[in-house]
């Protein structure tokens, strides 16, 4: 893998800001970005990415290519949590296996955004429909997870799964809703809408991402102390499954003939793990699982790995194949 690629990724303000955040925790400074500021940043990023995706989609239109990508997205979002679950069951009880599998079956919007910014600095781009793909990939893992739970767990009577609640958590969690909503708004208002929104949601985007990654670094850093409790199996899982997912997904999209930028972004989606939507759903539906495991793995292992190493690595693979 090209060393310059790794360097080019790391020598980017967003990634360096993430490291700055990590360092702040490791050096025990008292830097913090208290709530609801992180909520402001993440909302901003969701709206910006949704809006921009919708605008791009309004330019390209909804084509056969788009439909293909969306179907592949759903396919992977269903497949990943299933095979992840069976791998995890080698070592874990059903509850924790379900929660972690769901976490890795879903996606991380910030990883996607950072990958987009990386692609951008290389002068390449991806289709606006990838945002729609991302949105579709958030939810299925939650449903799959709870189906696996019903199939494999023997729970007492009073903790039956409340399926209505589960579907609401899956399909109407805030980030799915905002992404989908702003995608539609961006699509409907097209060129004119984007022109009005661009100063806030376009030009400031990279700066806001950098600002937010500082916070992500703080949050990830605070979880790092928990890694030792996670155990070697799960640490390895948190690094290897993303790579595995990326490779599988690259093979599939190569087969189906996606474009290079889309293929890369798709692999990043498959490799990323959720740290907001799924943990929230799992905490409510599978309180037997230990959030210190699934949140720590997603935030303190997989997220930093993807940001620093995964993104250039997946790009390197895609680049070798698409050329």
Partner 1 sequence: MEAMKKVEIVVDSVFLNRVLEILGRAGVSGYTVIKDALGKGERGIMAGDELTDVFKNSYIFTVCTEETVNKIVQELRPLLKKAGGVCLVSDVLWLTH
> Residues interacting with partner 1, by CB under 8 A?
32, 34-35, 38, 42, 158-159, 215-216, 219, 222, 275-276, 279-280, 283-284, 287-288, 291-292, 295, 299
Give yes or no for a cis peptide into 36 (omega within 30° of 0).
yes
Does residue 168 belong to the site contacting its own copies (CB under 8 A)? yes
Site for its own copies in 215-274 (CB under 8 A): none
Q: For residue 94, how many C-alpha atoms fall within 13 Å in the half-sphere facing its CB?
A: 12
Alpha-carbon torsion (166, 169, 170, 172), positive or negative = positive
Can you tell me the distance from the alpha carbon of 261 to that of 122, in angstroms, rounded to the nearest whole number? 11
- Among candidates 265, 241, 221, 236, which has minimal Cα distance to 130? 265
Q: What is the closest distance, in whole angstroms, from the C-beta atom of residue 40 to its own copies in the complex?
A: 5
Using CB under 8 A, which of 2, 60, 61, 121 touches its own copies?
Answer: 121
Owner of token pair 């539609």 = 184
The first and second tokens of residue 253, run together, are: 């999209």
Q: Which is nearer to its own copies, 86 or 163 (CB)?
A: 163
From the list partner 1, its own copies, none, partner contacted by residue 299 (C-beta under 5 to 8 A by kind): partner 1
Q: Which is nearer to its own copies, 35 or 158 (CB)?
A: 35
Q: Which is nearer to partner 1, 123 or 156 (CB)?
A: 156
Report the 3 state secondary structure along 294-319. HHHHHHHHHHHHHHHHHHHHHHHHHH
Q: What is the closest distance, in whole angstroms, from the C-beta atom of residue 37 to its own copies in the complex?
A: 5
Q: Which is nearer to its own copies, 190 or 291 (CB)?
A: 190
Distances (CA, A) of 322 to 5, 243, 258, 262, 268: 16, 18, 10, 11, 16
Longest dimension (CA), the chain: 57
From the list its own copies, partner 1, none, partner contacted by residue 208 (C-beta under 5 to 8 A by kind): its own copies
Using CB under 8 A, which of 28, 154, 257, 323 touches its own copies?
Answer: 28
Residues binding its own copies (CB under 8 A):
11-13, 16-17, 20, 23-24, 27-37, 39-40, 43-44, 47, 51, 121, 168, 172-174, 177-178, 181-182, 185, 188-189, 192-193, 196-201, 203-204, 206-208, 210-211, 214
């Amino acid at each position: 893998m090209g060393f310059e690629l790794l360097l080019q990724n790391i020598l980017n303000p967003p990634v360096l800001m993430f490291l700055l955040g990590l360092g702040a925790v490791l050096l025990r400074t008292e830097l913090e970005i208290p709530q609801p500021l992180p909520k402001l940043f993440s909302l901003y990023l969701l709206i910006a990415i949704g809006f921009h995706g919708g605008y791009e989609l309004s330019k390209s239109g909804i084509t056969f290519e788009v439909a293909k990508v969306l179907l592949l997205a759903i396919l992977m979002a269903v497949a990943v949590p299933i095979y992840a679950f069976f791998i995890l069951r080698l070592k874990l009880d059903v509850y924790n296996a379900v929660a972690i599998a769901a976490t890795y079956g879903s996606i991380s919007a910030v990883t996607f955004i950072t990958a987009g910014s990386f692609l951008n600095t290389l002068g390449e781009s991806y289709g606006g429909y990838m945002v729609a793909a991302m949105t579709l990939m958030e939810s299925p893992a939650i449903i799959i997870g709870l189906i696996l739970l019903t199939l494999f767990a023997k729970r007492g009577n009073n903790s039956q799964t409340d399926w209505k609640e589960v579907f609401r958590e899956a399909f109407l969690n805030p980030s799915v809703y905002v992404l989908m909503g702003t995608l539609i708004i961006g699509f409907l208002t097209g060129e004119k809408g984007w022109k009005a929104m661009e100063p806030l949601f376009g030009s400031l985007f990279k700066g806001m991402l950098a600002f937010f990654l500082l916070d992500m670094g703080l949050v990830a850093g605070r979880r790092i102390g928990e890694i030792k409790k996670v155990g070697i199996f799960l640490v390895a899982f948190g690094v290897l499954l993303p790579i595995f997912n990326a490779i599988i997904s690259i093979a599939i999209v190569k087969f189906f003939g996606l474009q290079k930028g889309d293929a890369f972004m798709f692999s990043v989606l498959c490799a990323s793990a959720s740290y907001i939507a799924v943990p929230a759903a799992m905490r409510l539906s599978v309180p037997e699982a230990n959030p210190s495991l699934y949140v720590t793995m997603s935030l303190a292992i997989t997220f930093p790995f993807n940001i620093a190493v995964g993104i250039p690595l997946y790009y390197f693979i895609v680049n070798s194949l698409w050329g």
